[in-house]
Amino acid sequence: MPDALLTVSGIAAGYPNKQVLFGVDFAVHQGEVVALLGANGSGKSTCLNAVSGFVRPWSGSIRLDRQELAGWLPHQMFRRGIIQVSQARDLFPDMSVEENLRLGAWVRGGPIARLLDGVYASFPRLAERKNQTVRLMSGGEQQMVAIGRALMGQPRILLLDEPSGGLAPNFVNEIAAIVAALKRQGVTMMIVEQNIRLALSVADRFLILRDGRVSQRHDISGGGASEEDIVRSIYL
């Protein structure tokens, strides 16, 4: 297998007076989707935040194309193409859909018209509502704007933190279809998701975090781990 696009080695990280990650190791290859699973409080979001620069690692290595990035700030990670969609989405609610999307291309540049066309092709609903104020949209539609804005930044690797979190069932299915379509387009992704069925439907591999450590690693194509087995590994 070729060298990994992203390599994380021995990452320890946390917050004042609380260590969350204890020597986490994993790799993500070009075009691959890796799911990070675990119970609440296991360190999943902290792990993504460490990779994207929102949490500064205490020790360890984060390499993109062999370049060491551990300790870089979020805007520096963004410039290198590590782009995260957080649980909060972090949209500008009083701006329109298209204004939010255009902001995604501001840092890394690129042909904005072509990038917009690509996002609207992937999210026809956003094309229909491009002039609508984001505040007036449903949670599922706002999640589409957040993912679309990240795509405007032309990510080398897209980090999705609970993309289906808090959404109505019909939007959960729609987000799953969107992530599957991005995978077919070759977008490299790392996804944190409590909906195990959704995660397994799109991932090539998954890791299970327990108490801030990687406790299990599985290749989806290899089979052998049922959804029931995974739930048991996470919660028991």
Provide the CATH number for the domain around residue 4. Answer: 3.40.50.300
Q: Which residues pair with 8 in a beta bridge?
A: 26, 62
Q: What is the pLDDT of residue 221?
A: 64
Q: What is the pLDDT of residue 35?
A: 93
193 domain residue, yes or no: no
104 domain residue, yes or no: no
Q: What is the pLDDT of residue 115?
A: 93
181 domain residue, yes or no: no
In the β-sheet with 157-161, what is the strand arrangement from edge to edge? 82-85, 157-161, 189-192, 33-37, 205-210, 213-219
Q: What is the pLDDT of residue 174?
A: 87
Q: How far apart are CA 166 and CA 179, in angstroms?
A: 17
pTM (predicted TM-score): 0.92
Classified as helix, coil or strand, 165 is: coil
90 domain residue, yes or no: no
Domain count, the chain: 1
Q: What is the pLDDT of residue 216?
A: 84
Q: What is the pLDDT of residue 166?
A: 83
Q: Which residues of the chain have pLDDT under 50?
A: none
The mean pLDDT value of the chain amounts to: 90
Q: Which residues pair with 219 in a beta bridge?
A: 205
Count of CA atoms in the C-beta half-sphere (13 A) of 146: 26
Q: What is the pLDDT of residue 150?
A: 95
Q: What is the pLDDT of residue 132?
A: 96
226 domain residue, yes or no: yes
Q: What is the pLDDT of residue 217?
A: 82
Q: How far apart are CA 84 and CA 68, in angstroms?
A: 18
71 domain residue, yes or no: yes
